[in-house]
A and B are shown apart, each in its own frame.
Chain A
Amino acid sequence: KNQVEQSPQSLIILEGKNCTLQCNYTVSPFSNLRWYKQDTGRGPVSLTIMTFSENTKSNGRYTATLDADTKQSSLHITASQLSDSASYICVVRARSASGGYQKVTFGTGTKLQVIP
């Protein structure tokens, strides 16, 4: 069964500190993995996409890593800001042999709170 598990469930950090969020998945065959940020009361917004051949990708203060062998991804946030307070959702897409619909599995999310 395709699953995506994230840890920790919630996290509180001081402004300016770094943090790392984890995502483990069992989705197969793997197509890609996206990290989404969901602000309170808003819809999720994509931060970055990781494909099979990519190990690391940065988007400003966000750096995502992917280890396709161990089926793990992480999202590292550097020099956190109050505006980073949100839920971060790991979403893994399965590859379709027919080129049609690709099943998408959502993680349960990590709720990050950055405090002054």
Chain B
Amino acid sequence: DTAVSQTPKYLVTQMGNDKSIKCEQNLGHDTMYWYKQDSKKFLKIMFSYNNKELIINETVPNRFSPKSPDKAHLNLHINSLELGDSAVYFCASSPRVSNTGELFFGEGSRLTVL
């Protein structure tokens, strides 16, 4: 199936641990994003990569480090997890950074930090 897929879908971990979320898109898009959706369902951009190049880095703690090995993959690594990191993280892609096209979202990864 053509889609944006992210793993894992659910992640429960202790404070202080390090975890990663992986994202892959087979839509042939150039641009990929990570969004954080908080408990109030507000979606906030974290990072964006265009052809493996970081183009957006919003005010996100440096405990969060994205990595794009190729334009079809954008992974998110989080160090020293804190309670406030609990949220749903969405990966998304779009054809290219300057287009007016839509964002294609993954199913989300629900992170719970205990």
A residues sitting closer than 8 Å to B (CB atoms) are 31-32, 34, 36, 38, 41-46, 49, 51, 87, 89, 91, 93, 96, 99-102, 104, 106, 108-109, 111
Chain A residues within an 8 Å CB radius of B105: 43-45
CB distance from A83 to the nearest CB of B (A): 18
Chain A residues within an 8 Å CB radius of B106: 43
**Count of A-B contacts with CB under 8 A?**
53
The residue on B at minimum CB distance from A34 is B102
Chain A residues within an 8 Å CB radius of B44: 106
Interface of A, secondary structure class, is strand
The listed residue (B4, B56, B90, B103) touching A46 by CB distance below 8 A is: B103
* Range of interface residues on B (Cβ < 8 Å): 20 to 34
Q: How far, in angstroms, from A43 to B105 measured CA to CA in the complex?
A: 5
* In contact, A111 and B41 (Cβ under 8 angstroms): yes
Q: Which of B62-70, B72-80, B92-100 contacts A (4 or more CB under 8 A)?
A: B92-100
B11 within 8 A of A: no
The residue on A at minimum CB distance from B91 is A43
* In contact, B98 and A99 (Cβ under 8 angstroms): yes
Q: How far, in angstroms, from A49 to B100 measured CA to CA in the complex?
A: 9
* In contact, A43 and B107 (Cβ under 8 angstroms): yes
Chain B residues within an 8 Å CB radius of A109: 41-42
Known: A31-B100, A38-B41, A96-B98. 5 other contacts (CB 8 A): A34-B102, A43-B106, A43-B108, A51-B100, A89-B43
Q: How far, in angstroms, from A51 to B100 measured CA to CA in the complex?
A: 9
B residues sitting closer than 8 Å to A (CB atoms) are 4, 40-45, 48, 55-56, 90, 92, 97-98, 100, 102-103, 105-108
* In contact, A108 and B42 (Cβ under 8 angstroms): yes
CB distance from B71 to the nearest CB of A (A): 16
